[in-house]
């Protein structure tokens, strides 16, 4: 007799945290729909949600550990053998060459993984390597740096209060494709339309007319890399004409008078010349922000991954503070999550952050939050000397396709003494591994958004049980990490107390630890002033618990060590002359490369889902008609995109949706490399834009890679 049931969970494939209703018959998924009763997403879901079924059932997904043989082929081995051998080899490399000889790269799916968020940090502390890398330095690092330097904690990241905002300025972001990023908000389209329905106004600054730009009331093309000078000009104008509207933050900011002096050179005329905007447009944006009751500025990855990404995200915070949007309903606010990573029980907090405690060996690049910029990973592997990376562990990451100069990263990985990958696929990166340790599928583990609830536009809490029991021979990500951790402690002769502590943590598992953190939180059952959250309360609340809208929380949310907002951290002031010199330089007329995001894509593994890659080819280069005509190119032609480090070939799409002087290529493709075992992705292999992105070009302040604004050339392909 057929059995059927309905399973409710939160989608873990992007930052939106959409609630799902999954119909299961005979232990197979038969339908995935949006959960209309979810308090955050209200029934919305995007095409990616359907990939949960495809991922779970994918025949290419690895189920058992693989070990590379001497002939280069992979063979399956059992878990105990795999974990023992990996621990032995990590210990051996660090014993012979020092702790820094073992590096680690952590991909962004870990943000969606409760177990890894709990169990990776203690493993990293035991590893004690300074060669730690993640996707942060090709993504949101400048936003976290601004939070750390201005507010005292790297995760004090303000998010737009979309549900009450009436004037929104979006810079370098396309939330209709990303579903919101550093702004978790299911159904962004409805929320943006809600702003317009209230009589509000949305302005977008972007070198490409994105889906968000098309929905907006106003869109302005802006030259890549000019966001910082533009936003600082808005700040200067607002201060001069309307003053600082600090509201309840009056007396809780430091450096206002100094800031007035530092902003003096950043005139609207300078910004207009650098950005391509009209002076009148810059003035109108400043006026709308300063005179609206509920205004906000939101900037994302396009503003981060450029040569002035650090200054751009500082400037965004400045404008939000000065125009009265900071910590104000309808402005930018801070979530009050059930488990607060800024002020959490020991083991759940990520620390306030750090900057420049150490630097990379080859290029002297600064550490942030315990990690080095991933743009220096290849050179740290390939440059001999003390501290050279000789072994690497990757956890849910594909740096060959997602970090600069992918071909050099490819070459570097092939030279390692040891490479270990915790990953579900044999992809462009893991094909170099000596061991691949595949975790269970997302539907086989419980889920709670530990990080993303701290970035949500509404306070919610939701725990999802596993939809399916994992096979007996499967391991969750955290079990793999903890299994290695326990073995490393034993091989190092760690004290019995340390080994007993880790054994207890392993026995507890993520859900028991989550329950403890929920109970100890401000809204937990151990707080007599609250109703009392706990896992036992979340279990029956299958749609989640609505904890209400965002609420003002400043200045009491500022950490004790930094009780005032710092408007003028020295790092930013020291970088202003570089920005000023660049803004004053004459336009060089170069063709500049930018990236783009597609609603049906997020990480490179999503290209192995037939339902997400079907339809028109997406890995194409977009170019304005004027630029195409000047080069004798037409839509559909195969073209060569060349930079100083290499070239790729891909089809051309001529479109008015990119500004003149700009070309646009999506990220995450390039699956045609030998050894990849992802059948669907290989059939839609595309070309990796990171094969032409120069790892030598960084934001000098933050160390973030420049993925937006590198100079390139485009010409007809010689093979066409």
Please give the model's pTM, rounded to 2 decimal places. Answer: 0.97
* pLDDT for res 502: 87
- pLDDT band at residue 598 under the 50/70/90 scheme: confident
* pLDDT for res 233: 98
The segment(s) of the chain belonging to CATH 2.40.40.20 are 588-716
Question: If 0-12 CB within 10 Å is exposed, 13-18 middle and 19+ buried, where does residue 472 land?
Answer: exposed
* pLDDT for res 1: 59
SS (HEC) of 545-587 = EEEEECCCCCCCCCCCCCCCEECCCHHHHHHHHHHHHHHHCCC
Q: What is the pLDDT of residues 385-440, one digit of tens each?
A: 999 999 999 999 999 999 999 999 999 999 999 999 999 999 999 999 999 999 99
* Residues 11, 17 contacting (CB under 8 angstroms): yes
- pLDDT band at residue 348 under the 50/70/90 scheme: low
* pLDDT for res 253: 98
The segment(s) of the chain belonging to CATH 2.20.25.90 are 4-57
Q: Is residue 208 scored above 60 in pLDDT?
A: yes
- Cα-based distances in Å from 151 to 278, 566, 669: 33, 7, 37
Element holding 464 (H helix, E strand): strand 463-464
Q: What is the pLDDT of residues 675-689, one digit of tens each?
A: 999 999 999 999 999
Q: Is residue 107 scored above 80 in pLDDT?
A: yes
Q: Is residue 587 scored above 80 in pLDDT?
A: no
For 257, other C-beta atoms within 10 Å of its C-beta total 8
Q: What is the pLDDT of residues 109-149, one digit of tens each?
A: 999 999 999 999 999 999 999 999 999 999 999 999 999 99
- Cα-based distances in Å from 437 to 85, 427, 487: 12, 13, 15
Instruction: Report how far residue 393's alpha carbon sits from residue 436's, in angstroms, rounded to the nearest whole number.
Output: 10
- The mean per-residue pLDDT over the stretch 624-642 comes to 97
CA proximity to 690, closest of 428, 325, 476: 428
Q: Is residue 349 scored above 70 in pLDDT?
A: no
Which positions ≥6 away from 269 have C-beta within 8 Å?
279
Chain position carrying tokens 């058992």: 64
* pLDDT for res 498: 87
* pLDDT for res 513: 94
* pLDDT for res 417: 98
Mean pLDDT of the chain: 95
The segment(s) of the chain belonging to CATH 3.40.228.10 are 161-334+559-576
* pLDDT for res 89: 98
- pLDDT band at residue 719 under the 50/70/90 scheme: confident
CA proximity to 398, closest of 22, 105, 78: 105
- pLDDT band at residue 599 under the 50/70/90 scheme: confident
Q: Is residue 161 scored above 60 in pLDDT?
A: yes
Element holding 459 (H helix, E strand): strand 458-461
The segment(s) of the chain belonging to CATH 3.40.50.740 are 66-139+342-548
Instruction: Report how far residue 427's alpha carbon sits from residue 683's, in angstroms, rounded to the nearest whole number.
Output: 14
The DSSP symbol for 109 reads G
- CA within 13 Å, CB half, 320: 32
* pLDDT for res 300: 96
Instruction: Report how far residue 220's alpha carbon sits from residue 227's, in angstroms, rounded to the nearest whole number.
Output: 12
The DSSP symbol for 239 reads H
Q: What angle do CA 691, 694, 700 make, to 5 degrees?
A: 145
Asked if the 66-139+342-548 domain carries CATH number 3.40.50.740, the reply is yes
For 256, other C-beta atoms within 10 Å of its C-beta total 15
The CATH number corresponding to 4-57 among 2.20.25.90, 2.40.50.140, 3.50.50.60, 3.40.190.170 equals 2.20.25.90
- pLDDT band at residue 347 under the 50/70/90 scheme: low
* Residues 698, 374 contacting (CB under 8 angstroms): no
The CATH architecture annotation of domain 161-334+559-576 reads 3-Layer(aba) Sandwich (3.40)
* pLDDT for res 602: 78
Question: If 0-12 CB within 10 Å is exposed, 13-18 middle and 19+ buried, where does residue 601 land?
Answer: buried
* Residues 620, 653 contacting (CB under 8 angstroms): yes
- The mean per-residue pLDDT over the stretch 65-92 comes to 97
Q: What is the pLDDT of residues 222-261, one digit of tens each?
A: 999 999 999 999 999 999 999 999 999 999 999 999 999 9
CA proximity to 631, closest of 689, 709, 717: 717
CA proximity to 108, closest of 117, 99, 118, 119: 117
The CATH number corresponding to 588-716 among 3.20.20.80, 3.60.15.10, 3.90.600.10, 2.40.40.20 equals 2.40.40.20
């Amino acid at each position: 007799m057929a059995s059927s049931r309905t399973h409710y969970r939160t989608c873990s494939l992007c930052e939106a945290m959409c609630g799902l209703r999954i119909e299961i018959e005979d232990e197979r998924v038969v339908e995935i729909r949006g959960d209309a009763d979810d308090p955050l997403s209200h029934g919305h879901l995007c095409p990616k949600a359907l990939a949960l079924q495809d991922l779970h059932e994918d025949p290419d997904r690895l189920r058992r550990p693989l070990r590379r043989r001497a002939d280069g082929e992979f063979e399956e081995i059992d878990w105990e053998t795999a974990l023992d051998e990996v621990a032995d080899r990590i210990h051996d490399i660090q014993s012979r060459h020092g702790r820094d000889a073992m590096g680690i790269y952590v991909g962004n799916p870990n943000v969606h993984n409760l177990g890894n968020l709990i169990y990776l940090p203690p493993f990293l502390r035991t590893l004690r390597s300074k060669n730690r890398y993640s996707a942060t330095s090709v993504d949101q690092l400048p936003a976290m740096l601004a939070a750390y330097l201005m507010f005292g904690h790297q995760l004090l990241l303000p998010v737009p209060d979309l549900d009450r905002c009436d004037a929104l300025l979006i810079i370098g972001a396309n939330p209709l494709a990303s579903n919101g990023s550093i702004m978790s908000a299911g159904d962004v389209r409805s929320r943006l339309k809600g702003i317009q329905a209230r009589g509000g106004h949305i302005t977008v600054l972007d070198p490409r007319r994105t889906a968000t730009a098309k929905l907006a009331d106003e869109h302005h093309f802006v030259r890549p890399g000019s966001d910082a000078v533009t936003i600082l000009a808005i700040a200067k104008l607002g201060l001069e004409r309307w003053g600082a509207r600090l509201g309840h933050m009056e007396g809780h900011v430091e450096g206002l008078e100094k800031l007035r002096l530092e902003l003096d050179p950043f005139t609207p005329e300078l910004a207009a010349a650098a950005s391509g905007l009209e002076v009148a447009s810059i003035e109108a944006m400043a006026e709308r922000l300063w005179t609206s009751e509920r205004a906000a500025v939101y900037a994302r990855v396009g503003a981060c991954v450029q040569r002035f990404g650090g200054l751009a995200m500082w400037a965004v915070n400045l404008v939000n503070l000065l125009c009265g949007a900071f910590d104000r309903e309808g402005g930018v606010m801070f979530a009050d999550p059930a488990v607060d990573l800024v002020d959490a029980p020991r083991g759940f907090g990520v620390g306030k952050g750090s900057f420049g405690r150490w630097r990379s060996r080859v290029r002297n690049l600064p550490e942030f939050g315990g990690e080095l910029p991933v743009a220096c990973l290849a050179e740290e592997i390939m440059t001999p000397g003390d501290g050279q990376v000789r072994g690497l562990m990757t956890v849910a990451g594909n740096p060959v396709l997602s970090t600069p100069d992918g071909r050099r990263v490819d070459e570097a990985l092939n030279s390692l003494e040891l490479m270990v990958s915790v990953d579900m696929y044999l992809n462009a990166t893991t094909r170099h591994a000596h061991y691949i340790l595949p975790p269970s599928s997302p539907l086989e583990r419980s889920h709670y958004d530990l990080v993303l609830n701290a970035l949500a536009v509404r306070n919610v809490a939701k725990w999802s049980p596993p939809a399916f029991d994992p096979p007996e021979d499967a391991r969750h990500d955290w079990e793999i990490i903890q299994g290695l951790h326990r073995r490393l402690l034993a091989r190092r002769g760690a004290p019995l107390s340390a080994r007993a502590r880790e054994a207890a943590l392993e026995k507890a598992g993520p859900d028991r630890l989550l329950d403890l953190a929920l109970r100890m939180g401000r809204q937990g059952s151990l707080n007599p002033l609250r109703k009392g959250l706990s896992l036992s309360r979340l279990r029956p609340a299958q749609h989640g618990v609505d904890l209400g809208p965002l609420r003002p929380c400043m200045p009491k949310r500022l950490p004790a060590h930094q009780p005032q907002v710092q408007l003028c951290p020295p790092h930013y002031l020291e970088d202003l002359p570089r920005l000023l010199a660049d803004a004053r330089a004459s336009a060089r007329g170069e063709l500049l490369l930018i990236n783009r995001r597609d609603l049906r894509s997020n990480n490179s593994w999503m290209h192995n889902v037939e339902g997400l890659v079907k339809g028109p080819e997406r890995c194409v280069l977009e170019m304005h008609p004027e630029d195409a005509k000047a080069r004798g190119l037409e839509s559909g032609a195969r073209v060569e995109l060349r930079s100083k480090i290499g070239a790729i070939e891909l089809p051309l799409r001529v479109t008015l949706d990119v500004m003149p002087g700009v070309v646009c290529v999506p990220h995450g493709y390039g699956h045609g490399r030998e050894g990849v075992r992802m059948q669907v992705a290989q059939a839609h292999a595309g070309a990796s834009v990171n094969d032409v992105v120069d790892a030598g070009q960084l934001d000098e302040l933050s160390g973030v890679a420049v993925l937006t604004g590198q100079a390139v050339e485009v010409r007809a392909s010689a093979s066409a």
